[in-house]
């Protein structure tokens, strides 16, 4: 499989390619998350403060913002400087495709979103009764940016280090810690490409104690899949696995792009509902290299390994990346609908 074919395969499966330059921001929904549901329901993020002249906001420097704020508020010079920096960052530094992290009151619920466009807008519209009530005691976040909220989850599903970062008192703050960024990436996407490497996350859902035999069996099969793929595609990047042994918790795989793509296909074939030993797969592929890889996978995979993989998936209640299920469904549809040979 050459680079062009790999790109086509990645696009066909909808695998996310993350820009390594995108930024990550903590933006609160008002004091104590008072506007959390408003932000979530209407698809935006925002900040308050007293300036709502859009043209001025778009052209003002930090010093000009400070001068303007000083004529409106009676805060100390230090506080005025902080407010000016927050407004400036929201208007000029937050970019399209940046990630927004928004905690609810008490950080019980955490939402993750993506900035949808480059423009800010001014609006004091509120729809929810709880927001209208909150507006009686605090400033409405009227400087807004459109957000596509992609994941909302309970705090118990968020890594502890990410949660600790949410204790920052600031209404808007840039997240620069590389470990937190990696944790957030794995939390909001179960399969993605970034910095010429691929990342894949399997979520162990069982809330019972993790069965050691099932876990080691599963990791052994995962190891076989990655080694088989790395050897086939001759990738030198050594795969690494990170485990969170809390139950539930994630298993994260990081490796070269070809290795992870190969592992995705390998695991999809393991879970397919057809006779593996008969080499009866009729999954249509355009790449001859990919066809050869699938054929070798089918020859390598043993029925015993397939049974063990599916048993461990069930026992550990592992949620695989969605793309694995997509490939599996495509394969099974082809198996049901056609007796034609594989296209090459």
Q: Of 184-193, 242-251, 252-261, 275-284, which range is least confident?
A: 275-284
| Predicted local distance difference test score (pLDDT) of residue 130 | 96
- Could you tell me if 27 and 86 are in contact, meaning their C-beta atoms sit under 8 angstroms apart? no
Over residues 283-294, mean pLDDT? 55
| Reported confidence tier of residue 334, pLDDT bands at 50, 70, 90 | low
Q: Answer yes or no: is pLDDT of 289 > 70.
A: no
Q: Answer yes or no: is pLDDT of 173 > 60.
A: yes
| Predicted local distance difference test score (pLDDT) of residue 189 | 92
Q: Answer yes or no: is pLDDT of 276 > 60.
A: no
| Predicted local distance difference test score (pLDDT) of residue 240 | 86
Q: Which CATH number fits domain 23-188: 1.10.10, 3.40.50, 3.10.590, 1.10.3470?
A: 3.10.590
For residues 60 and 157, give the distance between their C-alpha atoms in angstroms, rounded to a whole number. 40
On the CB side of 166, CA atoms within 13 Å amount to 26
Neighbours of 266 (CB within 10 A): 26
- 80, two tokens: 């005025």
The predicted model scores a pTM of 0.82
Q: Answer yes or no: is pLDDT of 149 > 90.
A: yes
Cβ neighbors of 54 (< 8 A, separation 6 or more) are: 120, 121, 122
| Predicted local distance difference test score (pLDDT) of residue 35 | 97
Of residues 306 and 114, more confidently modeled: 114
The segment(s) of the chain belonging to CATH 3.10.590 are: 23-188
Q: Answer yes or no: is pLDDT of 333 > 60.
A: yes
Over residues 248-263, mean pLDDT? 84
Over residues 111-116, mean pLDDT? 98
Over residues 307-334, mean pLDDT? 79
Of residues 11 and 342, more confidently modeled: 11
Mean of the per-residue pLDDT values of the chain: 84
| Reported confidence tier of residue 341, pLDDT bands at 50, 70, 90 | very low
| Predicted local distance difference test score (pLDDT) of residue 172 | 94
Beta bridge partners of 253: 200, 241
Over residues 66-83, mean pLDDT? 84
Of residues 267 and 163, more confidently modeled: 163
- Could you tell me if 171 and 47 are in contact, meaning their C-beta atoms sit under 8 angstroms apart? yes
């Amino acid at each position: 499989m050459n680079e062009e074919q790999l790109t086509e395969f990645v696009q066909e499966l909808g695998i996310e390619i993350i820009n390594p330059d995108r930024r990550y921001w903590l933006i609160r929904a008002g004091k104590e998350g008072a506007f959390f549901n408003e932000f979530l329901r209407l698809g935006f993020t925002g900040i308050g403060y007293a300036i709502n002249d859009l043209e001025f906001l778009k052209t003002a420097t930090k010093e000009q913002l400070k001068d303007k704020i000083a004529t409106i508020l009676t805060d100390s010079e230090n506080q005025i400087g902080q407010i000016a920096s927050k407004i400036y960052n929201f208007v000029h530094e937050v970019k399209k495709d940046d990630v927004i992290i928004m905690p609810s009151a008490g950080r019980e619920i955490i939402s993750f979103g993506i900035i949808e466009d480059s423009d800010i807008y001014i609006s004091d519209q509120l729809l929810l009764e709880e927001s209208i009530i909150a507006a009686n005691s605090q400033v409405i976040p009227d400087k807004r940016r459109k957000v596509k909220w992609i994941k909302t989850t309970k705090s118990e599903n968020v890594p502890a280090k990410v949660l600790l970062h949410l204790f920052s008192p600031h209404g808007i703050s840039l997240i620069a810690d590389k470990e937190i960024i990696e944790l957030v990436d794995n939390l909001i996407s179960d399969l993605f490409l970034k910095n010429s490497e691929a990342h894949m996350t399997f979520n162990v859902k069982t809330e019972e104690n993790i069965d050691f035999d099932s876990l080691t069996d599963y990791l052994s099969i995962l190891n076989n899949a990655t080694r088989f793929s790395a050897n086939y595609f001759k990738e030198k990047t050594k795969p690494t696995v990170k485990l969170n042994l809390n139950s539930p918790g994630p298993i994260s795989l990081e490796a070269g792009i070809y290795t992870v793509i190969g592992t995705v296909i390998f695991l999809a074939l393991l879970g397919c509902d057809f006779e593996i030993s008969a080499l009866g797969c009729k999954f249509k592929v355009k790449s001859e290299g990919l066809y050869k890889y699938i054929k070798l996978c089918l020859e390598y995979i043993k029925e015993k390994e397939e049974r063990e993989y599916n048993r461990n998936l069930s026992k550990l209640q592992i949620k695989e990346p969605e793309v694995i299920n997509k490939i599996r469904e495509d394969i099974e549809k082809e198996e049901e609908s056609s007796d034609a040979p594989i296209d090459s």
